[in-house]
Amino acid sequence: MLKRLVGHDLRNLTNPPPDVRLVEPPLNLMRIRHLIAIVAVAPVLLQSVPAQAAQALPPGQKQGRYVRWFYPGQLSYGSVETGAGESGSGPASTAFLTLPFMGPHIVTSLFDHCYPDYGVNGRICRYDGQVATQSTGGPDPGFSEGYAQTPGSHDYLYYDGHDGYDYALTYEPVAAAAPGIVRSADWLDPNCHTCLSGLTIEINHGNGLESFYGHLSRIDVVKGQHVNRGQVIGISGMTGTATGPHLHFGIYDLHRSQTPIDPYGWSGSYPDPYGWDRGDLWLSGSPRFADVPLPSVSASATLDAKDVNSIDVAWSSPGGGNNFKVEVVTKDGQMKPWLSQVSAGSAVFHGRPNQTYWFWVSVTTDLGWTDGAGSGSVQTPTLKHGQDV
């Protein structure tokens, strides 16, 4: 049977009793997020288009059976973090974060303000005060820790006890959410590569908080390294205990046994049921992409005016500290190295008569972002009888 949800981490903590009240997490609970066993996953596309209650239809037609959204809204402004969403609150005086990726991505799980300890207490509280409960809306039939916001199995929130945000990054670059020093960059449990959050990076930002990036497929930094905002630190994946590729992103208080902190803070109309937040930690108060230049390669190739067997090749890209590699591709599809470790510019490629060439140019910026593009193809003329090669 096709799983309804994919791409979350699996965790476990002892379930609190139903009447538990919020108290300071015991200091001996080291790394709350590291005790994992609950299966948690993110929504995948259903096979039919969901009907909207307010959707206008042509005369004579009527609404079809309600089908829940492909991706239920884990955010107050929808399911996709686009870098333009408004969280509805202003930034805290200590705000310092930008999004740990580039480009729009689905948010598949949120921070549960009631209570982020991976215990199942039957209640999920979103940062804006929206609540879903096991008893009122009911659990997702395909995932018991996700609850519907309203009766009738509609609009689920995920998931009970989660202490961070899951983003649907499928083997994509992960960016540092703020400048800092890499605190760890390795398997979270070196003795078990299918446990916990797998390949994990933790960055100390010097303000008592760290950012956490879990389930990576590749790590591009080392412990003790300084990283800049927006720098590529690794590639997302599904290492550790995960059912699909995604990024687990969390903020944790280093002075409170790594107590989890919601970067969105709390904007509900009633007091925050979780007592250890620091307010809205996004720069400007709403999550935005890091303001760093991204590469976009442009490449061209034309016959040289003075030598018809030579080709003038040019390449460029926005970005900082760009490092280019240029490869030549022949008619049979073979790609061969030509230039490497070069800056934006141009060069002359000396070809042979009656050949077709085109050029593939790739670039890596000083922050680790990459791009590539090909030139148009160029045909060198046929060698005439008596003509020098």
Residues forming beta bridges with residue 356, ordered by sequence position: 379
Distance of CA 361 to the CA centre of its chain: 26
For the segment 191-207, the average pLDDT, to the nearest whole number, is 94
Residue 62 and residue 175 share a domain: yes
Residue 7 lies inside a defined structural domain of this protein? yes
Find, among 299, 26, 139, 225, the residue nearest to 148 by Cα. Answer: 139
Residue 123 and residue 223 share a domain: yes
What pLDDT score was predicted for residue 39? 31
pLDDT digits (tens, 9 = 90+) for 24-65: 333 333 343 443 333 333 332 222 222 222 333 344 444 343
Give the domain-ending residue among 292, 310, 345.
292
Residue 385 lies inside a defined structural domain of this protein? no
Residue 263 and residue 244 share a domain: yes
Number of helices (H) and strands (E) in the chain: give both, helices first.
Answer: 0, 26
Type and span of the H or E element at 298: strand 298-303
Residue 181 lies inside a defined structural domain of this protein? yes
Structure tokens at 384: 């005439």
Count of all residues that appear for the chain in the document: 389
Residue 262 and residue 151 share a domain: yes
Residue 267 and residue 307 share a domain: no
pTM of structure: 0.80
Q: How many domains does one find in the chain?
A: 2
CATH code where residue 276 lies: 2.70.70.10
Asked if the model's pLDDT at residue 154 lies above 90, the reply is no
pLDDT digits (tens, 9 = 90+) for 14-26: 333 222 222 233 3
pLDDT digits (tens, 9 = 90+) for 257-298: 889 999 999 999 999 999 999 999 999 999 999 999 999 999
Q: Is pLDDT larger for residue 17 or for residue 169?
A: 169
Residue 22 CB contacts under 8 Å (≥ 6 apart), including other chains? 115, 273, 274, 275
Give the domain-ending residue among 269, 292, 315.
292
Residue 389 lies inside a defined structural domain of this protein? no
Find, among 227, 218, 226, the residue nearest to 186 by Cα. Answer: 218
Domain that residue 19 falls in: 1-292
* Inter-CA distances, 120 with 15, 41, 51, 363, Å: 6, 15, 31, 47
Residue 365 and residue 260 share a domain: no
Residue 219 and residue 266 share a domain: yes
The single residue listed with the structure tokens 């991976």 is 118
Q: What is the mean pLDDT of the chain?
A: 82
Residues forming beta bridges with residue 182, ordered by sequence position: 203
Residue 135 lies inside a defined structural domain of this protein? yes
pLDDT band at 82 (very low <50, low <70, confident <90, very high): very high
Residue 17 lies inside a defined structural domain of this protein? yes
For the segment 150-166, the average pLDDT, to the nearest whole number, is 86
Dihedral Cα 133, 135, 138, 139, nearest 10 deg: 70
Residue 354 and residue 228 share a domain: no
Give the domain-ending residue among 274, 292, 310.
292
